Amino acid sequence: MDPPTGPSLGPYDYDLLVIGGGSGGLAVANEAAGLRRKVLILDLVAPSPRGTERGDLNMDSIRKFLQQASLLGKAIQDSQKYGWRLTEKASHGWSELVEAVQEQVKTRSMEVKRELKSCGVFYLGARGELVGPHTVEATDVNGKTRRLTAETVVIATGDRPQYLGVPGDREHCLTSEDLLSLLHPPGRTLVVGGSAEGLECAGFLCGLGLPVAVMLQPDLLPGFDRKTAQKIENHIVSGVDFLYHCSLTKVLSESATTPQVVSRLRVATISQEGQTKQEDFDTVLLTIGRKAFTSDIGLERVGVQCSQSTGRILVNESDQTSVDHIYAIGSVQHGRPSTTGLSVHVGTLLARRLYGGDGILCDYTNVPTVVLTPLEYAACGLSEEKANLTFGEDSVEVYHSYYWPLEWALPARNKNSCYVKVICHIPDHDRVVGVHVMVPNAGDILQGFVAAMKCGLTKRQLDATVGIHPGSAQVLSSLTQTQRMSEALLMRGNC
């Protein structure tokens, strides 16, 4: 394996060497190269246990494609109320969706490599391992190795889906990364885990008309606002079976799997009371969380400290590890939120601090996130539970409202599905410390409010904002009902 060659700007082969080619790694590399530094990315990601190759198109983009596939099916149903006449019954072609997404993954992979080259970033499809101070061993797909040196190293290896460790999970279960490798529709599917990833997959499959069950293992949308999470469950419960208070213990295959034949899976579960049960599914999808990919890259050898509980890398406010010339960004960081947008932002700021003379640190508060369920949920800031814990319930006011998007009126969709919540810290001039939006296109709606929150948005300023009519976001500028008022009405029996 011959690495890229070229003049070094110092005693090392490279100014910056990035291990991992995810969104954060690409961002820090591109920004550093733009600041005239010699940069190398080492990125060789092993396929999943099912053999699925991981492409350069991040999973967030694929999640959006899957959500859109589901939404289009609902739009076809609604279209008849808007006067559209369908000449034939609409049906979904799984293979067409898979082919289109896989083609997009390949296209994006080529675009990424072109962009890196145009920016002056060197790229090697090789696994990187720290073997000494400022020294990384690169191993290509053929096992050929070469040692390279760099003044600064950035760890951006991302994370991987977790497995339960029960018999048959790696042999017979899929993760979200494997779903679109299926040549056939997944059929009756058991989604194990109530994470955002799990609910997104469940909503997508349900939207395609496939039978879906979700086993909450352990909770629904852990880390998100509990009351809003419950509303997400209530919205999709009509098409999805939820299995409560039970755990997966074993997965067995009843027949050999071929691309043409779906193997039936026998799933064994146990309830909290110790009762066992077996049930058949076509597909079992594991969405129980993700684990940072920090093993086997030499962190212990060079003294980079990780959390014993999570395996993620300990960093300071500058994203610097316990070794001064090694940094970590993205989902490998311990105790920090993890989103694609945040990883890109962190990588860009890090390169500017290292090589651009800037001192701006990333603000890890008010990081927005979105759950791409059929009815989208976006959030920024504190959940209601976290706000009460931080400030005390008497210091927190929660404004909320259900509403009906105008485009839902003609097809007569459920009036009480869409929901918004604004959480305010009363002693601080009713400063907005949390916004939760459960509406179509929630992520796009929330983006502007994220900027306002970074500027110290208060409820008074929110009320003084002119709403855009007709539009969904205007509901956030006219909130008058508080949760205390709603709960008082319920206690009096008037609501």
Contact 21, 41 (CB under 8 A): yes
Rounded alpha-carbon distances, angstroms, from residue 174 to 44, 91, 171, 277: 21, 25, 9, 21
What's the CA gap between 282 and 186, in Å, rounded? 6
Sequential DSSP letters for 454-494: HTT-BHHHHHTSPPPSS-GGGGGGS---BHHHHHHHHHHT-
Two structure tokens written together for 1: 């394996």
Active site residue 469: yes
Q: CA triplet 230, 234, 239: central angle to 5 degrees? A: 140
Catalytic residue from among 184, 334, 429, 469: 469
Pairing, β 135-140 against β 126-132:
antiparallel
Q: Which of 454, 416, 417 is nearest to 435 (CA)?
A: 454
- 3-state class (DSSP) for residue 220: strand
Two structure tokens written together for 167: 């018999």
481 CB-near residues (< 8 Å, 6+ apart): 399, 400, 401
Question: How remote is the C-alpha of 68 from its chain's centroid?
Answer: 16
Burial of 412 (0-12, 13-18, 19+ CB in 10 A): exposed
Two structure tokens written together for 118: 């145009």
* Residue 426 DSSP one-character state: G
What's the CA gap between 237 and 374, in Å, rounded? 12
Asked if the bond preceding 470 is cis, omega within 30° of 0, the reply is yes
Two structure tokens written together for 475: 């509901």
**Under the phi-then-psi rule, with left for phi > 0, alpha for psi from -120 to 50, and beta for the rest, what region is 429?**
left
465 CB-near residues (< 8 Å, 6+ apart): 477
Contact 105, 56 (CB under 8 A): yes
Helix (H) or strand (E) holding 402: strand 396-403
Contact 444, 417 (CB under 8 A): no
Catalytic residues: 469
